[in-house]
Amino acid sequence: MKIEDAVTVVTAEANALLSCLGQPVIAYHVTAIMREADREHARQMQLALMRRSIEALVDDGLEDVVAERFAAQFDGRVGLTWGLLHASEGVAH
């Protein structure tokens, strides 16, 4: 898997987030996370994106609980895809 493919996989079901933060913003952050080889640093970056995502979704009119649920699903896709990407590259964690 290539980083571009990983970004596509992660953002495929993120329409609500893409509409409020914008595709370039999400693609930039997800690409940065995918490029980060250090698991802990990638996770910190991911958590920051999730906080920002929840704030943006709530500002866009979603209820807190709905925004948190959406962000949790997005977070799961980011983490799973990061693991798959780096496992296929043979990066030690």
pLDDT in tens, 70-84: 999 999 999 999 999
Q: Is 30 part of a structural domain of the chain?
A: yes
Write down the pLDDT at residue 52. Answer: 94
State the pTM of this model: 0.86
93 inside domain: no
State which residues form the domain around 49. Answer: 3-88
Per-residue confidence (pLDDT) for residue 69, from 0 to 100: 93
H helix or E strand, kind and range, residue 33: helix 23-35
- Residue (of 27, 26, 17, 14) closest to 55 by Cα position: 17
Q: Which residue has the tokens 């209820």?
A: 63
The answer to whether residue 57 sits within a structural domain is yes
Give tens-digit pLDDT for 16-71: 888 888 888 999 999 999 999 999 999 999 999 999 999 999 999 999 999 999 99
Domains: count for the chain: 1
| Cβ–Cβ under 8 Å, residues 56 and 17 | yes
* Domain membership flag for residue 9: yes
pLDDT grade for 15, boundaries at 50, 70 and 90? confident
Residue in 14, 9, 27, 29 with CA at minimum distance from that of residue 74 = 14
Task: Report d(CA 66, CA 69) in Å as an integer.
Answer: 5
Does residue 54 form part of some domain? yes
